[in-house]
């Protein structure tokens, strides 16, 4: 393949992916706006028209910002690659640092910092304007800066050594380097998942043992019935950042713990909280987390193998506007352009996720009353201003959970 041929392939893929994403968002906007003035029949009497309108307006506001981000990200990707800016950054760093591992780490750092500042306006607008306007944002500027500092520190402490190890393996392990990189990547991800509940998450939120004795007894009875053991039941102070509510379990082995957002406990009745937790336990019972980790592992191995085939091809670098090759540049370019080619496959991963959600709902309906889970979902849709009328095609690409009407219809038939 020649560089010009690959450039044409990349530009066509980028144009098609961007056009598809924008078209789906426009469909979603029109669909939500058209149905703004009428609550769906399945929710009549349970969702007020004012709440339905709020969800529609909230969705529209988020989608419009998202469309702007799509356009900006496309332009930035073109400027960095075909426009030659990434090559200029690379050359400047080579002049300053030489071509060693420090150059590779600096290249990723520069692009990461540049991407952060380009995306910052939209992120701030989403948090401090949209979320605040609809009554969800509780984040203060001091807390925002603290989160930023902690996130940056974790990126350096975890991402830095991992990236160095990856670059070293790519240089030292010959043509099968991708297999060694995959093993390190997989091991690091499993280690982070193991450490997250007790080491990483407490850096950002406060976790306190669940104190409500009657609710605790109800939940422990459910856990016994489901054959689930955990290291404890905890309440997270999610309200200091957002009014959205949720519950989850995290960790492996003895490190598993169940976490409730304090906002969730405030909004749901005890039997509804039990039903929501039963849904989460359904994911555990069906081994969804393990299946997703396995799928992620298989796909990452395939992608690393593909990079192994591309990284020695001059047309790959030249076709993307970069004169000099190298391991760091190859890894960076691959991570930047891969999503362009993968987006059309999004319905496949969404379909798998939806299947898991249906299975978890069915499990919850076996362990608790289906009506309790329905009641909880209706409250969560209402309180989180989740649209009840998503565009079906947009939903196929973007939503990991089934549409509200389909999900509740299945529960009614359970």
Q: State the catalytic residues.
A: 280, 361
3-state secondary structure of 117: helix
Q: How many CB atoms lie within 10 A of CB 401?
A: 17
Tokens describing residue 256: 């598993």
Q: How far apart are CA 394 and CA 286, in angstroms?
A: 27
Tokens describing residue 97: 């640092």
Whether residue 279 is annotated as binding a ligand: the answer is yes
Which residues in 196-207 are b (16+ Cβ under 10 Å) and which e? ebeeebeebbeb
H-type helices in 35-131, by residue range? Answer: 49-80, 85-97, 101-125
Q: How far apart are CA 273 and CA 215, in angstroms?
A: 9
3-state secondary structure of 236: strand
H-type helices in 234-391, by residue range? Answer: 262-267, 270-285, 288-310, 314-318, 327-342, 346-367, 370-383
Closest of 238, 274, 286, 303 to residue 376, by C-alpha:
274
Whether residue 357 is annotated as binding a ligand: the answer is yes
Q: How far apart are CA 317 and CA 285, in angstroms?
A: 46
Closest of 244, 248, 265 to residue 256, by C-alpha:
248
Q: How many CB atoms lie within 10 A of CB 45?
A: 7
Name the DSSP class of 268: S
Q: How far apart are CA 33 and CA 64, in angstroms?
A: 13
Q: How far apart are CA 300 and CA 183, in angstroms?
A: 10
Torsion 315-316-321-323 (CA) sign: negative
DSSP string spanning 351-371? HHHHHHHHHHHHHHHHHS-HH
**Greatest Cα pair distance in the chain:** 69
- What residue numbers does the annotated binding site for Zn(2+) cover? 279, 283, 357
Which amino acids are annotated as binding site, given as ranges? 279, 283, 357
């Amino acid at each position: 393949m020649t560089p010009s041929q690959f450039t044409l392939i990349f530009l066509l893929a980028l144009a098609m992916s961007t056009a598809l994403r924008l078209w789906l968002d426009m469909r979603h906007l029109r669909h939500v706006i058209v149905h703004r003035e009428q609550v769906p029949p399945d929710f009549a009497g349970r969702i007020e028209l004012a709440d339905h309108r709020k969800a529609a307006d909230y969705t529209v506001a988020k989608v419009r910002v998202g469309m702007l981000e799509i356009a900006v990200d496309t332009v930035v990707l073109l400027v960095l690659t075909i426009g030659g800016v990434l090559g200029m950054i690379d050359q400047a760093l080579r002049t300053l640092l030489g071509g060693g591992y420090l150059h590779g780490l600096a290249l990723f750092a520069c692009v990461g910092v540049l991407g952060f500042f380009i995306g910052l306006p939209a992120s701030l607008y989403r948090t401090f304007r949209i979320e605040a306007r609809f009554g969800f944002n509780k984040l203060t500027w001091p807390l925002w800066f603290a989160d930023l500092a902690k996130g940056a520190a974790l990126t350096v402490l975890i991402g830095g050594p991992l990236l160095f190890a990856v670059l070293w393996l790519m240089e030292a392990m010959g043509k099968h380097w991708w297999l060694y990189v995959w093993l390190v990547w997989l091991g690091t991800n499993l280690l982070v998942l193991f450490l997250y509940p007790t080491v990483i998450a407490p850096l950002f939120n406060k976790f306190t043992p669940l104190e409500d004795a009657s609710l605790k007894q109800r939940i422990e009875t459910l856990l016994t019935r489901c054959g689930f053991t955990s290291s404890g039941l905890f309440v997270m102070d999610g309200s200091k950042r957002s009014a959205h509510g949720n519950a989850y379990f995290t960790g492996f082995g003895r490190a598993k713990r169940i976490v409730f957002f304090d906002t969730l406990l405030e909004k749901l009745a005890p039997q509804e909280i039990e039903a929501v937790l039963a849904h989460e336990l359904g994911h555990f019972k069906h081994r969804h987390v393990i299946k997703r980790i396995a799928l992620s592992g298989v796909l990452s191995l395939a992608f690393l193998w593909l990079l192994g085939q591309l990284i020695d091809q001059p047309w790959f670098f030249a076709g993307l506007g970069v004169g000099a090759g190298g391991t760091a540049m190859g890894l960076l370019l691959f991570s930047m352009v891969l999503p362009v080619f993968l987006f059309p496959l999004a319905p496949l991963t969404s379909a798998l996720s939806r299947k898991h959600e249906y299975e978890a709902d069915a499990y919850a309906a076996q362990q608790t009353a289906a009506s309790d889970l329905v009641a909880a979902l209706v409250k969560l849709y209402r309180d989180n201003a989740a649209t009840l009328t998503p565009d079906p095609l947009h939903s196929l690409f973007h939503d990991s959970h089934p549409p509200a009407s389909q999900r509740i219809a299945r529960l009614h038939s359970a």
